[in-house]
Structure 1
Amino acid sequence: MGTTADQPATPTPPTVPQAPDAPTNLQAGSIGLAGVLMQSVAQISPTLGIFYTIAFNTGQAGVSAPLTYLAAFVVCLLIAVPMAGLAQHLPSAGGFYTYVARGIGPRWGFITGWLYAVMVVIVPAALAAFTGAILHDELDGKYGFGLPWWAYALVMLVVCFACAYRGIVISIRFLVVMTMFEIVVGLGLAMTGLFDPGPGGVNATGFNPAHIGDSSGFFLAIVLSIFAFTGFESAAAVGEESRDPVRFVPRAIIGSLVLIGAFYVVCAWGLQIGWGTSNLGALADSPTAPAFVLADRLWNGGSIIVLIALVNSGLGVCIACTTSSTRTLFGMARTGALPRGLAQVHPVHRTPVTAVFVQSAIAVTVCLAGGLSLGAYNLFNLLGTAGTFVYIPIFILMNIAVFRFFHRKHREEFSVLAHVICPLASTAALLTIGWKSIVPLPDWPVRLAPALAATYLVLGAVVLFARNLRPGKRDWMGRAGELPDIT
């Protein structure tokens, strides 16, 4: 694949076949900074991100688990700083597709957009299955309410569809309420653990690098932690629907990352202290999520509050991923890089209606087929880890695009720190972490994750060469990276 193709001097807006007088743009100016910020925070999924990684990270990194979140935060910050610069110049629903197409070229832009779109289209399937399994296990075990996990999952995916179909405003309202509640619950449990510690008392041992044990386990924990952070970039997907995308999207990218970074580190520390740093082996091996155990002990049987927060978190990330995936598909389709039907906009709700139907159908299919064959938890672990490996080439390509975009097109803004040092450092970290996490391979079925990520890439290359690079089918290349509906 070539690395560059000159963009036309004047953007040529794509023509999307629609009904007469039908809108071709999303609903601009419908959400403010808080809404854009909550899109990113919700896709990060705060309480699910900490409550269901703390046991694994403790098992891999021991008492140093809080450091894995801190290390992941630093890596993601190195990525977010240059990304914010691209978002300021290119506030497009296409997100990574637009960034890389403008910075490197349309071919690599397509591959990057394809990888991101495929991943976030599928993520709601994994999260709905996972959250449904949590609901089933807790409600059946404690209250004898035995509805199967897939029934809960289907209800969640139907809610996601309804929000995505009706419009960005209703989606953001859901996200604001649910996300604020889950953050309060997560911080509340962590702070209670600090004030009522388990065996070992209050200490800062978890932040001492000298206690880092097996490097392979520590790096694998960082990989999972990076996935727990991903989602901060999704503010770009709703930029076109915000009132001031040039200012709001960069602020939301950095702000969501800083907010969740502090949240994760404090929660990881508080949960370990509340459990007892002298008994972390039991935390890592707990058959029940440690947050439930702690809530029952510290809040006198209050695990139902944690369950509500986790359901909020699972539903929130599904809604946010549905929003970002459908906007990415829309952003690519309106340039012709994907079938133009995916760029169809609802005449009343101003949502990418065809993309919403396609995404929802895929999510339901993957959720039921994958969850019933592998099990809900295995599906989540497999697709979640595969998503992390997909993010590695996406972020690396974006890093290359950052350097080329600012060095060639905006030399007056070029910064060695933001556009050279940060991209190089984060690329080195991503490659190192990726290698350390597959040598040796993790247990089944997570060991399939790298191959699954490679399958996404191969499928993207097939579509690129078989559809988009055929003679007479390359018009999209002149529109990739442009902003046809931003004035």
Structure 2
Amino acid sequence: MTGPGRHPSEDEATVGEFGYTQELQRSLSWFSLFSVSFSVMSIATGVFLNFTFGIAQLGPVSIWLWPAVGVGQLLVALVLTELGTRIPLAGAGYQWGSRLVGPAYGWFIGALGILYAAVGVPGIVYLAVAPLTEYVLGIDDASPRTTLFIALLVLTVAYLVNIISVQVAARINNVAVLAEILGTVVLAVLLFVLWVTGAKDSDHGVGYLTEHHTLPGHSYGYAVALASLVGVYTLAGFEAAADVAEEAVDAKRVLPRAILGSVVVSVVLGMLVLIGFTLAIPGDEVLAAGGLPAVFQYWLGEGLARTFVGVVVFAMFALMVVSAAVIARLLYAMARDNMLPGSALLRRVHPTTKTPVPALLAGYVLNVAVVIFGYNSANAFGTLVGATAVLPYLVYLLIVLAYGFRRRRRPAAVDGDFDLGRFAGVVFGASLVYLVAVILTLTLPDEFRRANYYVLGGLALAALWWLVGLRPRLERGEAGAPPLLDQRHPHADGPNAQEVEG
């Protein structure tokens, strides 16, 4: 899996320049990195969870907001890709913030990432993976205990795969990505063909894709903002490839293809899927009664519908596998800099498997605890999961702000590195405007007001640890990212740091 390009020792030397020792095993190819980002975005998961919401807010025309969101995400991805080629380290967002601004800034980015991972993964596994698994297996009227058991089983297997080896996790994810692409696209095309040929009754033509409405009391502007969240919810997490950069071969050169490619492919395929699924809606009452599985069952029959939903469940399982890896790499990266309680344990890497086992176990315990909380407090859990939607965009905003105002302090480009060049200012400005608009959409509506309190509560806890535990460590020089050893790449926080033109 090494392929042409930089020799693995060059990748390891890059880690050394940032003051670290190569501990994780480098074995991931560009396709594995692409698969990581594609799986975290997971158009199958996002569309299944949010399709009905978009249609309810604005009607079928809502699907045309998907490519608009895709352009915004691509702008942000361009910024993060440049940073990824300059600072290709595990726990990427935390590292970027620390290197561009300082350890406190990096800490809050990392804390937001931990909060997102702690709740987002349990939300998907408990509210989506488990119920859809019950549908695939034909378990009708499953008890809450059955749902809890399935959710915990999926989480346990996902983490065990990561403990065994990152290569096993990557192989499962690679297969799942191909299955997701083939399964969802084939399903959308099949539904489109059945609709065109009139295999069953449908109450609309192609003009249905332009029909629109709003809910009572909502303006069209408000409806457009809410409907756009289908893409906003789904097309996030593309930077996950950068989180496992220390396990990639030829990391600096494959990251751009992995991150940008995953965004473009997700936007294009997602649009095709949305068109096929929307045209297949036989009537609003079918969608409202049973969601997308009911639409599939109407056209394909129960058996074939369960088969295609099974492909979606497999894609969601891959998302769990990748998310476990990303959580662990963030915890490992922050513990390596002594930023977390119990850092001495969390930064350990198993000598045989080359995986951060203590960090994986910590992520597992955290996720299981939140799933059990969801089982016991369904209403509060739903609000908590809703709060996680804004967290990745707060992380993106903090990173883009750091990039825009401190770009000259990031490591200089070397031959072959991805570089925005003269377009950097335009990309920065456009991505900043886009992110502010998304965050306002995710926080201002009354529907999200209660969820905002959870985010604020998480930030308060992060600030408390920074004040009580972390700041004394930083003042004693016992925590924080080490200075760069290669003086061609000046350290952002050093008193004599020079500025480097991009």
Which TM-score tier does this pair reach, normalised by the shorter chain? 0.7 to 0.9
Alignment correspondent of 1:273: 279
State the SS of the aligned residue for 2:352.
Answer: coil
2:86–2:412 CA contact under 8 A, matched in 1: no
Q: Residues 123-143 of structure 1, C-alpha deviation per residue, up to 9 Å, x if partnerless? A: 221122121123235645559
Shift of the alpha carbon at 1:111?
0.7
Shift of the alpha carbon at 1:415?
3.3
Alignment correspondent of 1:352: 356
State the distance in 2 between where 1:423 and 1:142 align. 50
Q: In structure 2, what residue type is equivalent to 1:357?
A: L
Alignment correspondent of 2:365: 361
State the SS of the aligned residue for 1:52.
Answer: helix
Alignment correspondent of 2:184: 186
State the SS of the aligned residue for 2:377.
Answer: helix
State the distance in 2 between where 1:448 and 1:192 align. 41
State the distance in 2 between where 1:304 and 1:483 align. 55
Across the two proteins, how many residue pairs are aligned to each other? Answer: 454
Alignment correspondent of 1:426: 431
State the SS of the aligned residue for 2:228.
Answer: helix
1:97–1:481 CA contact under 8 A, matched in 2: no
Query: Structure 1 pair 92/223, CA: closer, same or farther in 2 (3 Å)?
Result: same
Q: Residues 79-123 of structure 1, C-alpha deviation per residue, up to 9 Å, x if partnerless? A: 001111000111100200111111222211111112112212332
State the distance in 1 between where 2:142 and 2:212 align. 44
Q: In structure 2, what residue type is equivalent to 1:235?
A: A
Query: Structure 1 pair 323/145, CA: closer, same or farther in 2 (3 Å)?
Result: same
Shift of the alpha carbon at 1:25?
0.9
Matching residue within 232, 243, 248 for 1:237: 243
Give yes or no for the alignment of 1:218 onto 2:221: no
1:179–1:312 CA contact under 8 A, matched in 2: no
State the SS of the aligned residue for 2:457.
Answer: helix
Matching residue within 28, 40, 44 for 1:43: 40
State the distance in 1 between where 2:253 and 2:366 align. 34
State the distance in 1 between where 2:428 and 2:312 align. 34
Give yes or no for the alignment of 1:200 onto 2:204: yes
Query: Structure 1 pair 427/207, CA: closer, same or farther in 2 (3 Å)?
Result: farther
Shift of the alpha carbon at 1:358?
0.6
State the distance in 1 between where 2:177 and 2:327 align. 19
Q: Residues 364-414 of structure 1, C-alpha deviation per residue, up to 9 Å, x if partnerless? A: 111012233216xx74x5444322211222111111222244334568856
Matches within 5 A, 1:252-401: 252-276=258-282, 279=283, 281-282=284-285, 286-290=288-292, 292-301=293-302, 302-338=304-340, 339-374=343-378, 379=381, 381-401=382-402
Structure-2-length-normalised TM-score: 0.83
Q: Residues 327-376 of structure 1, C-alpha deviation per residue, up to 9 Å, x if partnerless? A: 0111111112222321100111011111011110111111012233216x
Alignment correspondent of 1:18: none
1:98–1:482 CA contact under 8 A, matched in 2: no
State the distance in 1 between where 2:410 and 2:149 align. 51
State the distance in 2 between where 1:361 and 1:409 align. 35
Query: Structure 1 pair 217/154, CA: closer, same or farther in 2 (3 Å)?
Result: same
Alignment correspondent of 2:155: 157
Q: Which moved more, 1:426-435 or 1:343-352?
A: 426-435
Matching residue within 123, 126, 129 for 2:126: 129
% of aligned pairs identical? 21
Q: In structure 1, what residue type is equivalent to 2:97?
A: V
Structure 2: runs of 5 or more not aligned: 1-15, 196-201, 414-418, 490-502
1:224–1:385 CA contact under 8 A, matched in 2: no
State the distance in 2 between where 1:234 and 1:416 align. 26
Q: In structure 1, what residue type is equivalent to 2:335?
A: A
State the distance in 2 between where 1:483 and 1:163 align. 35
Q: Which moved more, 1:69-78 or 1:133-142?
A: 133-142
State the distance in 2 between where 1:11 and 1:483 align. 5
Alignment correspondent of 1:169: 167
Alignment correspondent of 2:98: 101
Alignment correspondent of 1:453: 455
State the SS of the aligned residue for 1:231.
Answer: coil
Q: Which moved more, 1:231-240 or 1:174-183?
A: 174-183
Alignment correspondent of 2:408: 407
Structure 1: runs of 5 or more not aligned: 1-9, 15-22
Query: Structure 1 pair 267/46, CA: closer, same or farther in 2 (3 Å)?
Result: same
State the distance in 2 between where 1:204 and 1:246 align. 45
State the distance in 2 between where 1:62 and 1:476 align. 55
Matches within 5 A, 1:22-171: 25-28=23-26, 30-130=27-127, 131-136=129-134, 139=137, 148-171=146-169
Shift of the alpha carbon at 1:44?
1.3
State the distance in 2 between where 1:294 and 1:12 align. 52
CA RMSD of aligned residues (A): 3.0
Q: Residues 156-190 of structure 1, C-alpha deviation per residue, up to 9 Å, x if partnerless? A: 01111211211110111111112221221211221
Shift of the alpha carbon at 1:269?
1.2
Q: In structure 2, what residue type is equivalent to 1:25?
A: E
Structure-1-length-normalised TM-score: 0.85
Query: Structure 1 pair 165/473, CA: closer, same or farther in 2 (3 Å)?
Result: farther
Q: Which moved more, 1:473-482 or 1:350-359?
A: 473-482
1:133–1:149 CA contact under 8 A, matched in 2: yes
2:91–2:330 CA contact under 8 A, matched in 1: yes
State the distance in 1 between where 2:436 and 2:349 align. 39
Q: In structure 1, what residue type is equivalent to 2:426?
A: I
State the SS of the aligned residue for 2:90.
Answer: coil
State the distance in 1 between where 2:348 and 2:165 align. 14
1:232–1:256 CA contact under 8 A, matched in 2: yes
Matching residue within 410, 417, 425 for 2:423: 417
Query: Structure 1 pair 71/208, CA: closer, same or farther in 2 (3 Å)?
Result: farther
Q: Residues 247-306 of structure 1, C-alpha deviation per residue, up to 9 Å, x if partnerless? A: 112211101111111121111111111115xx4x436x523122x123223323311113
